[in-house]
Amino acid sequence: MATLNRVLNIFLFIFIANLHSISCTAIFSSDPYAEQKLDRVSKLPGQNFNVSFAHYAGYVTVSKESGRALFYWFFEADEDPSSKPIVLWLNGGPGCSSIAYGLAEEIGPFHVEKDGKTLYLNPNSWNKAANILFLDSPVGVGFSYSNVTNDQLNNGDKRTAADNLEFLLQWFKLFPQYKGRDFYITGESYAGHYVPQLSQAIVRHNHKNGEVINLKGFMVGNALIDDFHDHLGLFQFMWSVGMISDETFKQLNIFCDFQSFVHTSEQCDKVLDIADEEIGDIDMYSIFTPPCTANFNRFSWLLKRKKKVGLVKGAYDPCTEQHSTIYFNLPEVQNALHVRSQNSPFKWETCSDEVNENWKDAPASVLDIYRELIPAGLRIWIFSGDTDAVIPVTSTRYSIDALKLPTTSPWRAWYDDGQVGGWTQEYQGLTFVTVRGAGHEVPLHKPKQALTLIKSYISGKSMPKLKQVSDM
């Protein structure tokens, strides 16, 4: 991947790009908002509508020595941003872009039309509930880069957490008006590692330095939590839904239960291949909806790929990804987003295989972080779309069960517009919510229910019950 040389002349580029809107004196004065203003995004190419909220995109340097810079895109809430919390969203992979998934097909305000050129407004965007911040991390993902050659091959959980913390510390300097604001971290899939790890890093940093970031809690969906329990639940899910044979189910439990999700043994790989054969070409991220069949030649790697089972990439609809891939590779879009590209456009991809395949460190479990952070009083929620066969609802239930938390409010259905939206159970220090009929990317499949979820989460209220006829 071309992480090299894409950032030459960056200062000149920013300067020119903003010459029209910002006066030279503003750039060099001590205005605390001057730098932030440089990141303000005006109308985007293909945006045929006006919006009421401001948004900003650009880079934050997380290592001056090796020149690592992470790309962010921040959307203020559509109403009253100064009274609303900030919600950070992270996608997983490892190697997948939060812009590609979280923003452009899940919780962001701007989604991309089929033509790959036009944007439309997502009516269920989470910026109806909060200010939302998307971060592409680690380096080598999306528009984030490092100036060290092949640094995208050196990523792992540890450096990601440290860089993400540094990002936040610097970002709050760039946006001083948000300093001290209530802050929540959310994400899905492999971000089941990133989100608690970053939360832990913040809590420890605050402990040492006094409260620097006002972290209130975190929420993860279809999240990788604990390799053993996640595997146990995965195989059980595939068997009980009727996707694999009895024999393969047995073999998986013998050869794969104790394997790492990220690096599996050869023996386990063989059984996973048999499972893939038996399952056939379905969308593992959403097992009851049709996979994309358009332009197969271009994206067939998704299907041909080995180890479809257990692959934690954040993909639902390869067609949706195609539209984003066209849009975010347009030079005029990259210019509007302040992407640091020099002469040739930045080659943007939804997920980086290089990052994914060269991942260094990944603990087998993050349950120990839950055990540390639950007593710290954070608001911790875990949700699960129940038609996902990548990290299914059974996996999450086994992982939560392993924490052995006392129940404070028993299992019940929750409702959205009079329909069962899913089920919920509250534990001491943790709330679990399923979303009925949603796949791996819950807000993609069930956008309205996902907005209900984030609203309940932020307000600290239980998921809605069925309204009595008298209050309807």
Nearer to ligand NAG, 341 or 396 (CB): 341
SS3 content of the chain, % helix, strand, coil (to 5): 40, 20, 45
Is 125 among the residues known to form the active site?
A: no
Nearer to ligand NAG, 49 or 301 (CB): 49
Please say whether the beta carbons of 283 and 319 come within 8 A.
Answer: no
Annotated catalytic residue within 193, 205, 440, 445: 440
Minimum CB separation from ligand NAG for residue 40, in Å? 16
Nearer to ligand NAG, 62 or 438 (CB): 62
Minimum CB separation from ligand NAG for residue 62, in Å? 8
Is 189 among the residues known to form the active site?
A: yes
Cα(172)–Cα(149) distance, rounded to whole angstroms? 29
Minimum CB separation from ligand NAG for residue 334, in Å? 16
> For residue 327, what are the CA distances in angstroms to 75, 251, 282, 334?
19, 43, 27, 9
Annotated catalytic residue within 98, 125, 144, 189: 189
What's the N-to-C CA distance of the chain in angstroms? 55
Cα(113)–Cα(110) distance, rounded to whole angstroms? 10
DSSP, collapsed to helix, strand or coil, labels residue 55 as strand
Please say whether the beta carbons of 373 and 196 come within 8 A.
Answer: yes
Is 440 among the residues known to form the active site?
A: yes
Cα(109)–Cα(49) distance, rounded to whole angstroms? 12
Closest among 139, 119, 188 to 354, alpha carbons compared: 139
Minimum CB separation from ligand NAG for residue 119, in Å? 12
In the complex, residue closest to ligand NAG by CB? 67
Binding site for ligand NAG (CB under 6 A): 7-8, 10, 49-50, 61, 67, 69, 147
> For residue 47, what are the CA distances in angstroms to 42, 50, 354?
10, 8, 32
Nearer to ligand NAG, 163 or 227 (CB): 163
Minimum CB separation from ligand NAG for residue 100, in Å? 22
Annotated catalytic residue within 151, 157, 227, 388: 388
Tokens of residue 399, six digits: 């992982």
Cα(455)–Cα(443) distance, rounded to whole angstroms? 13
39: exposed, middle or buried (Cβ count in 10 Å: 0-12, 13-18, 19+):
buried
Nearer to ligand NAG, 12 or 472 (CB): 12
Nearer to ligand NAG, 13 or 415 (CB): 13
| Residue found by looking up tokens 């970031």 in the block | 213
Nearer to ligand NAG, 67 or 156 (CB): 67
How many Cβ atoms sit within 10 Å of the Cβ of residue 157?
A: 20
Cα(429)–Cα(288) distance, rounded to whole angstroms? 33
Cα(51)–Cα(121) distance, rounded to whole angstroms? 9
Helices (H), 103-190: 157-174
Nearer to ligand NAG, 155 or 399 (CB): 155
Cα(326)–Cα(329) distance, rounded to whole angstroms? 5
Residues assigned a catalytic role: 189, 388, 440
